[in-house]
Structure 1
Amino acid sequence: MVDALGHTDVVIIGAGPSGAVTAHTLASKGFSVTCLEQGDWISPADYPGNRPEYELLLQQKWSWNPNTRGRPADYPMNLDAAEVTPIMIAGVGGSSVFYGAHWMRLPPSDFRVRTLDGVADDWPIDYYDLEPFYNRVDEFLGVAGLGGDPAYPPQDYRMPPHPLGKGGMLMAAGLNKLGWHWWPGTNAIPTNKFRNMEKCVRWGVCETGCPAGAKASFDLGYWPHARAAGARLITGARVREITTDPQGRADAVIWIDRDGREHVQKASVVVMAANGVGTPRLLLMSKSARFPEGLGNSSGLVGRNLMLHPNNEVLGLYDEDIESWKGPAGQLLYSLQFYETDRSRGFLRGSKVNLMPVPGILRILEHFDHLPFGKRWGSAIHDIGKYAGRALSLAGNIEDLPEEHNRVTLDPVLTDSDGIPAPRIEYRISENTQRNLDFTLDRMAEMHEAAGAAHILRQPLWKDAPGHLLGTARMGDDPERSVVDRFGRSHDVPNLFIVDGSVMVTSGGLNPTATIAALALRCAEHIAETARFQEVAA
């Protein structure tokens, strides 16, 4: 049965950060907005972080990997050709419910990689085009940080930074000894009660959902305000297809509810906000006689140039109690010492290194997986367990350059529970990225050594990527080399917009949510400003 839901000015697919910002912006300007989200609301009371067994819950029910988690809202992924695993969660707020809320802007150089380093492509916009939108989102969320970082143009924050804590002070002293850059962490975690968010209680479990409701995940940071402005949010709504009219404009989306019923939502504008895997998946599924290779895919680039930010880690174990369970996690501090290109290192671009607390003992035990069973369990666990509260994690966020062979396609066999083709992920770590990983790993070990770590444990690669799903519908001025224009509008379909991380031309070496939110705000305001003048595709 097909149920037609009437007409809305704007339909948004996905209720994560970019969808939330877009919904709030357009609803506040008087547009009728309907957002379709395949997941549900998740109550902070349900998060595992306030339970003693929370690390065990992360192994299945609350795993970051949707293939492991297998919730009704999730779709599976074929990862046979992927060297790292994309992670995400469906639900109101999207993967921000699990993010660490590291709130970093791309520096100006990230928008000019082709000009500066001769690789990838320059963005069609620069840092200063995006700066006012960065500022406005920061202000709206109550971002906590310290202005004056010499690695950036001038910026400031509504909230003061979080305390460095004993672990942060220890690492800061080590970095000072090395003469390397560091700065207090910038986090979308208010240091005081702000709007409907509580004050951070420093439990250090940010990346498993904040039980205190003290993190600016977008279910808290934006959606209450979007709904108050009049945006309609429908959960349990899995979109199957975007349809087009005879003139080639998007005119509706077809979605399936949890009972298997099919619905049609007609709209004047369609906005994709389904992340760098979900957005190309849906565009590739939306084929027609006019768009035989998928909607908006005349360039052949939908799904290509997937960037995942492979990460690595060095864990330091310290003899003194440094209360390393205290958050935010979130970053206590970060270093951009090795962020910009230095060709003498043997690779291009660089990485951000951030210091994070280690609140759980199983996190420490993971680093001893190479030991025989008898040296990890039984009485031996007490030797390892003495480092609870004495472990610090340095994580390297590695810049991932775009490569067309890294891509999202539709799997010919695997489907979700509604029979919709699942995405197949093809991703290989390039030689340049591998050299960056190796170099950053060595530098993080040096940082721990300078800080006085008793034991240093290396993790050369996190198999689970950090949930940064970027580049698969890139922006650009040339329709043959990009999918959308500088405002996120499809080159092929004038009333189809993409606002998630798919549009990013390069990944930078930083957590991307601040950039995604700023781009969504810029795009949403462009939609409002040009609503009367959207022309039919040629």
Structure 2
Amino acid sequence: MTVSPTADVLIVGAGASGATAAKHLAAAGFSVVVLDQGGWTSQSDLPGDKPEFELLWGNHQWHPDPNMRSRAEDYPTNLDDSEQPVYMYNGMGGSTVFFAGVWSRPMPSDFRVRTLDGVADDWPISYEDLLPHYEATDYDMGVSGLAGNPAYPPGGAPPLPAHPIHLTGRKMAEGLNRLGWHWWPGYSAIPSRAHGRQAQCERLGVCRTGCVIGAKGSADVTLLPEALRHGARLETGARVARITLDENGLANGAVYFQDGQEKFQPAKVVLIGANGIGTPRLLLMSESARFPNGLANSSDLVGRRLMLHPFGSVVGLYEDDLEDWMGPAGTQIECMEFYETDASRGFVRGSKWHVMGTGGPLEMATRWQIGEGVSEEPFWGEQFTAKMKQAVGHSIDWIVHAEDLPEEHNRVTLDHDLRDADGLPGAKISYTTSENTHRILDFGLNRALEAHEAAGATKAWITFRNFSSGHNLGTAKMGDDPETSVVNRWGRTHDVPNLYVIDGSVFTTSTATNPTSTICALARRTAEYLVENRREQEVSTA
């Protein structure tokens, strides 16, 4: 087995969290090694600037579902017991390569849902604890937005000006004004002007298929080059098989496969940022005599409380040409009107909305064929041209994100019958959408229909009522009590004092907002903690 020199810090995963930690720890003088099972994604290979981009994005090479994509760096997921698919991307930058760039924060109430609403658990930290890290990562990722949103407490302005509100956002804002509902220009990790290594957004509208000009705040553009500049070593095609322990029960590195060879990377401290599916999979694969049920799993919560954060979608058609394909794709405006609990609605917590483009003709054709109340209408033949002319360029899409409360039966376990390219077990996903989440979505989607009507839509319908967002959260819960959580408020596992989890696995609750901003803020907070406590941190010397 090949053994590399010992690193101060080993990071598993080069997505949003791993890249954030790598940049800040390397800049602070730590020797950092990052292992990722994927490689670099070339902007020239991305489908977004090609006429057939919708076909390319949906095919096996770029599909967001690893089961469909089936690249060598992917691992299979067993979805037999899951209502939802699982979306993620393996490689440098992780899923940020294909995220829409929506950069919203949760509300202060999200950290106190047990206290306020009697459900789930309070986070051991507050919005205020994360605020300086939110503001710092806004700069790291080139966030554009407008300060002063009345839905949030006061805070610093985004580092870049907001993008102009597109025609779709303006039209819908007019409708919300008529209803008296909250709206605000959307926040995007997409720069309105050149910022650091990021180019200025050219408003191509293909953000979800990968940014072909290097504008979007994906971690391979914004963070990993800075980590490299400060001396971090990034290993591609490095699939970690298990985290190892020394005789004192401290993490001392990881065994991984690269180019068909088994290798060992020793380290003094280990951070895992492999997302809400990959992190519990790795911890469960790292079982030992000391941890027979999986590493850091004395609470039996590793893999449990999976939140897939389902969303719904409501499309409206308008007589005006709205150029709805134009970017940034992630969000034109957002609405927090129905975010907080109102007991009269018949559920707890709520939803966050944002206006997105409806994509190209292929996506719009799909919306006609699956939409509630329109799927049975004649579509092909002579109706096809009329319906597509009515829709393409004339549509607005409301995305309704529901808070997905944690339930222990929703979980990730190992599937030893499914194997990845190196023979390691796949992940089995067990997930059922809760009744409370269904009620949040039903309520929000009906209100979104009202918003379309107020904005003057000629026709509107629900296209998705309950669908996975690709936000994989909650499978290594953060908390103060070792019996009821996996990691403490700094992301350090209760069972192994030099092993940290830094990705969305640690979410105590899912919130109703897109999670990447919070994932980066948490990873940066953990990195800062390690820097400030480097002399007190227990480390492996084996």
Alignment of 1:171-190 (within 5 A): 171-190=172-191
Residues of 2 paired with 1:490 and 1:340: CA distance? 31
> 1:28-67, CA deviations, whole angstroms, 9 ceiling, x for partnerless residues?
1111000001111001121111111111112212111111
1:305–1:403: 8 Å Cα contact kept in structure 2?
Answer: yes
- Opposite residue 162 of structure 2, the aligned amino acid is P
Match of 1:438, SS state, is helix
1:536 deviates by 7.5
Residues of 1 paired with 2:44 and 2:174: CA distance? 37
> 1:406-460, CA deviations, whole angstroms, 9 ceiling, x for partnerless residues?
0000013111111101000000011101111110110111111111111112124
2:537 alignment partner in structure 1: 534
1:416 alignment partner in structure 2: 420
Alignment of 1:185-264 (within 5 A): 185-257=186-258, 259-264=259-264
1:437–1:460: 8 Å Cα contact kept in structure 2?
Answer: no
1:374 deviates by 9.6
Residues of 1 paired with 2:399 and 2:142: CA distance? 25
1:159 alignment partner in structure 2: 160
Residues of 1 paired with 2:489 and 2:166: CA distance? 41
Match of 2:5, SS state, is strand
Higher deviation after alignment, 517-526 or 527-536:
527-536
1:377 alignment partner in structure 2: 380
Query: Equivalent of 1:503, from 506, 516, 529?
Result: 506
2:8 alignment partner in structure 1: 9
Residues of 2 paired with 1:81 and 1:231: CA distance? 40
Match of 2:465, SS state, is coil
Residues of 2 paired with 1:359 and 1:401: CA distance? 30
Say if 2:352 is the partner of 1:352. Answer: yes
2:67–2:76: 8 Å Cα contact kept in structure 1?
Answer: yes
* Deviation beyond 6 Å, 4+ runs, structure 1: 371-374
Say if 2:63 is the partner of 1:59. Answer: no
1:367–1:457: 8 Å Cα contact kept in structure 2?
Answer: no
1:359 deviates by 3.0
2:301 alignment partner in structure 1: 301
Alignment of 1:31-46 (within 5 A): 31-46=30-45
2:119 alignment partner in structure 1: 119
Residues of 2 paired with 1:497 and 1:520: CA distance? 10
Match of 1:532, SS state, is coil
1:403 alignment partner in structure 2: 407
1:294 deviates by 0.5
1:182 deviates by 0.3
Residues of 1 paired with 2:317 and 2:377: CA distance? 21
Q: Which ranges of structure 2 fall in alignment gaps of 5 or more residues?
A: none
**Normalized against structure 1, the TM-score is what?**
0.97
Say if 2:437 is the partner of 1:438. Answer: no
Match of 1:170, SS state, is helix
Residues of 2 paired with 1:205 and 1:360: CA distance? 9
- Opposite residue 425 of structure 1, the aligned amino acid is I
Q: Which ranges of structure 1 fall in alignment gaps of 5 or more residues?
A: none
Query: Equivalent of 1:519, from 516, 519, 522?
Result: 522
Residues of 2 paired with 1:197 and 1:232: CA distance? 22
Residues of 1 paired with 2:439 and 2:354: CA distance? 19
Match of 1:23, SS state, is helix
Say if 2:470 is the partner of 1:471. Answer: no
- Opposite residue 395 of structure 1, the aligned amino acid is I
Higher deviation after alignment, 375-384 or 178-187:
375-384
- Opposite residue 199 of structure 1, the aligned amino acid is Q
Match of 1:171, SS state, is helix
> 1:229-281, CA deviations, whole angstroms, 9 ceiling, x for partnerless residues?
11110010000011101110011200001x31111000000100000000000
> 1:357-402, CA deviations, whole angstroms, 9 ceiling, x for partnerless residues?
1230111111222578993333322112202111111001110001
1:73 deviates by 1.2
Residues of 2 paired with 1:15 and 1:235: CA distance? 9
Residues of 2 paired with 1:12 and 1:311: CA distance? 31
Residues of 1 paired with 2:306 and 2:498: CA distance? 24
- Opposite residue 411 of structure 2, the aligned amino acid is R
